[in-house]
Amino acid sequence: MYAAVEHGPVLCSDSNILCLSWKGRVPKSEKEKPVCRRRYYEEGWLATGNGRGVVGVTFTSSHCRRDRNTPQRINFNLRGHNSEVVLVRWNEPYQKLATCDADGGIFVWIQYEGRWSVELVNDRGAQVSDFTWSHDGTQALISYRDGFVLVGSVSGQRHWSSEINLESQITCGIWTPDDQQVLFGTADGQVIVMDCHGRMLAHVLLHESDGILSMSWNCPAFLVEDSSESDTDSDDYSPPQDGPATCPIPVQNIKPLLTVSFTSGDISLMNNYDDLSPTVIRSGLKEVVAQWCTQGDLLAVSGMERQTQLGELPNGPLLKSAMVKFYNVRGEHIFTLDTLVQRPIVSICWGHRDSRLLMASGPALYVVRVEHRVSSLQLLCQQAIASTLREDKDISKLTLPPRLCSYLSTAFIPTIKPPIPDPNNMRDFVSYPSAGNERLHCTMKRTEDDPEVGGPCYTLYLEYLGGLVPILKGRRISKLRPEFVIMDPRTDSKPDEIYGNSLISAMLDSCNCSDSSDIELSDDWAAKKSPKISRASKSPKLPRINIEARKSPKLSRAAQEMSRSPRLPMRKPSIGSPSLTRREFPFEDITQHNYLAQVTSNIWGTKFKIVGLAAFLPTSLGAVIYKTSLLHLQPRQMTIYLPEVRKISVDYVNLPVFNANVFSEDEDDLPGDAVWKD
């Protein structure tokens, strides 16, 4: 086999990613057809939970064609938890998502007409150690650290619950492959067995000195009925260009193995919980996380190396990196993937029919491409060449046949959609439309007013992997009119270093949650709350929306004079004149301050024009007209004019241009060839 980290920009969130879960996506055209596993696992959704209590749902694809159609919205940030999200679990048969936070709150989400809403809520005030769906998706097993266990239906009905009196905590809970029994692991190395009705069956001590971290079976997490049709019947199927297929060989007639991970780094492969001679894997890693692939023939074990010396710093301390080891069903070591990750890998999950392994370490997310068969020489050459190139644009500089160049470019096609903006081409990302039809949802947050900077500042963030990526920054430049200047988010750095290695640190600095939400609570949400949810509602942590107090527009003139920035020169506008000077900041420093555009307005704040300031942008970027009726007898109207902006276009010469310095208060003439949107 062969495994390598996917090439491309660093995928990261604005806080630590604590858990992962992936599920396949059924195309709308095939929802009424029998499920074909090959097509079902080509696309999917990755759920992430982070330290800010936000759940991210991001679209992923393993297609090797860039022109593949994607959903209009490919990222959702679900807000509602009051603490960090520690568990996310997909229910594939019912297409639901369960999330658990550190305070014990459990949400079950469901998507309807493109929006996510909370269907069920449970909160008993105790920390959840594990949440597991049954293999048919009809039941949920919830285990708490205080010994309380609960089994409920997918619709929220409680089947049974029990209080297990133990001296140690319950760390994990799983279903047996036939869903007739449940197994719980404890911190003192015991396994507790109960039947599906809550009757106690057995207590087994597996290890006297090591606690159990997790348990799993090497069988599919859900029972998905596969169709008998050939994988090549799909219209979207394209045979591999070269080399063997990337899909693993199904494993037939393999008895499920119970996999138990211990705190010492050892892993036991057992035929059942009472197996007296299990196969023990000595991984030699600490803080291990083990996960079987869907086919059940490959076990991925991630952790930090214990004594291997990766390198030395000038002051002497050793650097240890995380690695991933792969084992077969017999416990034999097959492959080791060395990474440069210096933080522990907290969560891993398989996706896309076991051709991808997703890993979370701190705020970063890594995608590993896995080849289950013997890797071909062409694949090894592809990875070797791709590792020496900085980006896919450098492929055209190589003297290779077009067929090999096309095969080499597939190594740079990202699995996570959309990929994080390239730090070296951030201006192109914010200035020109994307090639696809996807919608990029953003959040705007107001920062603190700083007299040294100017007026109030606003930062536009791209929602990505449950976090926020800063892409644009705006600053108000007029005290009288709603006028702004738009610039790069980090204007205090050099142009080449604005989005360099400091991207992750910049995202970590933008920690506060925004006031936008992608969730829509159903009407009966309050009725389905558990009795304990009132505790969270009375908690001071509940107001997650940070709405800063706005300054009153009726400030005294003295207060306005004191709050005026020294960078904004005092000008007394001529109210009676129909033409006003719009520039209220030094334009000789446009390049120095990375200004991109300016938003100008009339005195009433009903007409706005967007003027391009950068050399690579056209002068006229659009206009907005806002109309209201007297006494509000008619609905308000807003008209937006947006000309199409392309990176290379001869139409730039013919674009309408207006002088931003002269802006009539009653001007209604707008570019005639602009694109109109209402």
> Which one is predicted more confidently, 69 or 145?
145
For the cut 50, the answer to whether the pLDDT of residue 499 exceeds it is no
Strand partners, 89: 98
Of the candidates 450, 445, 545, which has an alpha carbon nearest to the alpha carbon of residue 489? 445
Span 551-584, pLDDT tens digits: 333 334 334 443 333 333 333 333 333 333 334 4
Could you tell me if 582 and 601 are in contact, meaning their C-beta atoms sit under 8 angstroms apart? no
Q: Nearest 10 degrees: CA dihedral of 165, 166, 168, 170? A: -60
For residues 11 and 543, the model is more confident at: 11
Q: Where are the alpha helices (DSSP H) in 363-493?
A: 377-388, 402-409, 426-431
Within a 10 A sphere around the Cβ of 452, how many other Cβ atoms?
A: 7
Mean pLDDT of 185-214: 92
Nearest-angstrom CA–CA distance, 131 and 175: 10
For residue 27, pLDDT beyond 90: no
Q: Give φ, ψ of 455 to 5 degrees.
A: -80, -170
Quote the pLDDT of residue 110: 95
When pLDDT is averaged across residues 363-379 and rounded to a whole number, the result is 92
Question: DSSP labels for 133-147?
Answer: E-TTSSEEEEEETTS
Reply yes or no: is the peptide bond before residue 314 cis, omega within 30 of 0: no
Tell the residue number behind the tokens 């900077």, with chain if given: 453
Look at residue 655 in the predicted model and tell me its pLDDT: 44
Instruction: Say whether pLDDT at 518 is over 60.
Output: no
In the chain, CATH 2.130.10.10 covers 17-28+38-224+254-286
Residues 17-28+38-224+254-286: name the CATH superfamily. Answer: YVTN repeat-like/Quinoprotein amine dehydrogenase (2.130.10.10)
* Among the ranges given (160-169, 204-213, 651-660), the one the predictor scored with the smallest mean pLDDT: 651-660
**Per-residue pLDDT tens for 530-542?**
333 333 333 333 3
What's the rounded Cα separation, in Å, for the pair 86 and 78?
Answer: 14
Number of H helices, E strands in the chain: 8, 39
Q: Could you count the other beta carbons within 10 Å of the beta carbon of residue 578?
A: 13
Give the strand pairing for 299-305 and 322-327: antiparallel
The answer to whether the CB of 77 falls within 8 A of the CB of 54 is: yes
Tell whether the model's pLDDT for residue 9 goes beyond 50.
Answer: yes
Strands (E), 196-265: 200-205, 212-217, 258-262
pLDDT at 453 > cutoff 80: no
Least confident of 365-379, 433-447, 576-590, 609-623: 576-590
Predicted pLDDT of residue 531: 36
Q: Which pTM does this prediction carry?
A: 0.76
Coil, helix or strand for 252? Answer: coil
Q: Considering the chain, what percentage of its residues have pLDDT values greater than 90?
A: 37
Long-range Cβ contacts of 144-149 (<8 Å, 24+ apart): 144/104, 144/170, 145/169, 145/170, 145/171, 148/124, 149/173, 149/182, 149/184, 149/194
pLDDT on residue 571: 35
Question: Of all helices (H) and strands (E), which one includes residue 183?
Answer: strand 181-186
Query: Residues 3, 400, 375, CA angle at the centre, nearest 5°?
Result: 20
Alpha carbon distance 366, 11 (integer Å) = 7
Q: Please, which pLDDT band fits residue 19 given cuts at 50, 70 and 90?
A: very high
- The radius of gyration of the chain from alpha carbons, rounded to an integer in Å, stands at 28
* Cα(3)–Cα(220) distance, integer angstroms: 21
The pLDDT mean for the chain works out to 75
Among 484, 464, 465, which Cα is nearest to 476's? 484
Report the distance separating Cα 392 and Cα 369, nearest Å. Answer: 17
| Residue 605 phi, psi (nearest 5) | 70, 30
At residue 313, the pLDDT reads 45
394-408 average pLDDT score: 88
Whole-Å CA distances, 108 to 140, 162, 514: 11, 22, 22
Q: Is a pLDDT exceeding 80 seen at residue 33?
A: no
497-517: average pLDDT? 41
SS3 content of the chain, % helix, strand, coil (to 5): 15, 35, 50
CA-to-CA distance for 416 and 352, rounded, in angstroms?
12
Phi, psi of 11 (to 5 degrees): -95, 120
Q: Looking at per-residue confidence, does 89 or 353 come out higher?
A: 89
Is there a contact between 363 and 13 (Cβ–Cβ < 8 Å)?
yes
Question: Of the ranges 32-46, 539-553, 588-602, which is most confident?
Answer: 588-602
Angstrom distance (rounded) from CA 625 to CA 669: 11
Say yes or no to pLDDT of 60 above 60: yes
C-alpha 557/C-alpha 172 separation (Å) is 64
Paired tokens of 331: 């416990």
Q: Choose among 390, 381, 373: nearest CA to 408.
A: 381
Q: Is 221 exposed, middle or buried, given 0-12, 13-18 or 19+ CB atoms closer than 10 A?
A: buried
- What average pLDDT score do residues 382-404 get? 87
Arithmetic mean of pLDDT, 51-55: 94
Cα separation, 192 vs 260, whole angstroms: 13
